[in-house]
Amino acid sequence: MHLQIKRTLYTILNTSDSKNLYSFADDIIVTFLIVLNIAVFIASTEPLPPEQKLILEQIEIVSSLLFTVEYGLRMWVCTLDRQYARPIWGRLKYALTPLSLIDLVSILPFYLLLLFPNLSVFNLMSLLRLLRLLKISRYSESVRHLAVVLYTKKEELIATAFAVFILLIFASSLMYFVEYEAHPDTFGSIPDAMWWGVVTLTTVGYGDIYPITPLGRFLGAILAFLGMGIFALPAGIIASGFSEEVQRKKQEKTVANLGKTANSQPTEILGEIDTILDRDRKTIALQVATSADLMKLCIDTAKHKFGTAFESEEIIRDLAMHLYNEAQQKFKL
């Protein structure tokens, strides 16, 4: 009975199956709690009346306790997984996984603020509650797709980021030396010029820092055009990654559906496959036979026409190959 309950909880907590009522309900409830908790955190920064503040605090307490219960249940059932099977070391290993660390860090500020309400450093740690948004990756296929795309395209994204960094350093340093004498208050150092470089490369254009010399304006215009192009690269990389991931998922679903169909109707599927293969074999055999006849005809023609003109067999063979290639291109055999 104890093991059965543990297995049931493991299935509910670690799978996202819409056909399983309990698993589906768990996904909906936890996702709703995450969104509600983040909304409460944002609303708590508004100057609200005391009674509304009290309601927000109560929601935070309840949601944090529920997240704590969920974390405890995950730690309890994780030993059903083979890689975390050992009671102590397995749970410790599971606790160090990225999502488990996110779960722990997101609920830790709540208890630290209860124990040390007057320490400002722990008030700052309340920002860690925003990490609960990352918990949605357990329940959202779209978020998981984004993570997969970012991981598979990491090399291209890192290369693009490195190129942007090099361009930023070079342009900011050049702008500093061009504008320093004419505009020392604004371009007083390379870090100041780097702020201008970031704003220009991203084409945001706050207007708080801008060049005033003709050469500086010319360089700024060039950097703005380069920024439009270079910052479009990550968007293109991620878009292509999403397209590849969607195609891969479609292929997996197609294979899975074919597997289900083959299991339910093996005789019909195998018959169709044999028919397709037999038709392909006949087509290939006909093409091979036609090509062989054509090659034989080309060899006989070359020997008959040029056999007395060339003593070398290699020349006759090359002529036959030339005739064969021309015939293939003309008749598209």
200 and 83 assigned to the same domain:
no
Measured CA to CA, the distance from residue 78 to residue 74 in angstroms comes to 6
Domain range enclosing 28: 2-139
Q: Where are the alpha helices (DSSP H) in 125-265?
A: 141-152, 154-179, 190-201, 214-230, 232-264
Task: Look at 256 and 33; give whichever has higher pLDDT.
Answer: 33
pLDDT for 209: 83
7 and 98 assigned to the same domain:
yes
Measured CA to CA, the distance from residue 152 to residue 158 in angstroms comes to 11
116 and 36 assigned to the same domain:
yes
227 and 315 assigned to the same domain:
no
192, 209 contact by CB (below 8 A): yes
Give how many domains the chain has, as a whole number.
3
- Which domain-ending residue is among 233, 264, 295? 264
What's the pTM value of the predicted model, to 2 decimals?
A: 0.58
pLDDT for 120: 60
181, 171 contact by CB (below 8 A): no
184 and 78 assigned to the same domain:
no
- Which domain-ending residue is among 115, 139, 163? 139
pLDDT digit string, tens, across residues 230-283: 878 888 888 888 888 778 877 777 766 655 655 555 555 455 555 655 665 656
192 and 286 assigned to the same domain:
no
35, 59 contact by CB (below 8 A): no
- Which domain-ending residue is among 109, 139, 169? 139
Q: Structure tokens of 260?
A: 């289900």
34 and 76 assigned to the same domain:
yes
Task: Look at 17 and 226; give whichever has higher pLDDT.
Answer: 226
17 and 135 assigned to the same domain:
yes
Q: Structure tokens of 305?
A: 């026409």
The secondary structure of residue 47, as a DSSP letter, is -
Task: Look at 250 and 199; give whichever has higher pLDDT.
Answer: 199
93 and 106 assigned to the same domain:
yes
61 and 130 assigned to the same domain:
yes
Q: Position 93: which residue type?
A: K
Q: pLDDT confidence of 56, banded at 50, 70, 90?
A: confident
pLDDT digit string, tens, across residues 278-309: 665 656 666 666 676 666 777 777 666 666 65
Q: How far apart are the first and last CA of the chain?
A: 71
11 and 134 assigned to the same domain:
yes
Percent of the chain exceeding pLDDT 90 equals: 1
Measured CA to CA, the distance from residue 305 to residue 321 in angstroms comes to 14
8 and 131 assigned to the same domain:
yes
pLDDT for 181: 85
pLDDT for 267: 53
Domain of residue 150, CATH code: 1.10.287.70
Measured CA to CA, the distance from residue 90 to residue 83 in angstroms comes to 7
pLDDT for 151: 83
Asked if pLDDT for residue 31 goes beyond 80, the answer is: yes
